[in-house]
Structure 1
Amino acid sequence: MSDYQFAVADGAAPNAPLIFLFHGTGGDEHQFFDLAAQLVPGAARIAPRGDVSENGALRYFRRAAEGVYDMDDLARRTEAMTGFIAAQIAARNPSRVLGLGYSNGANILAAVQFARPDLFDASVLMHPLIPFAPQAAVFAGRKVLITAGRRDPIAPAGATQALADYFSVNGAETQLFWHEGGHELRNEELLASRDFLAG
Structure 2
Amino acid sequence: MKTLVTLIALAATVGLSACATTTTKSGPTPYQAAATGKFGFTDQRIEANRFRITFDGNTKTTRQQVEDSLLLRAADVTIDNGYDWFQVVQRATDPKTYSRPRMSSRWAFGGGIGYSSFRTFHPRYGWVSYYDPFWSNGFYDPFFDRFDNDEITRFQATAEIILGKGPKPADRAEAFDARDVKSNLGARVTPPPPPAPPVAKP
What TM-score, normalized to structure 2?
0.27
Give the strand-richer structure, 1 or 2.
2
Q: Which has the higher contact order (CA 8 A, sep 6+)?
A: 2
- Structure ID, larger Rg: 2
Q: Which has the higher helix share?
A: 1
Normalising by structure 1, report the TM-score: 0.28
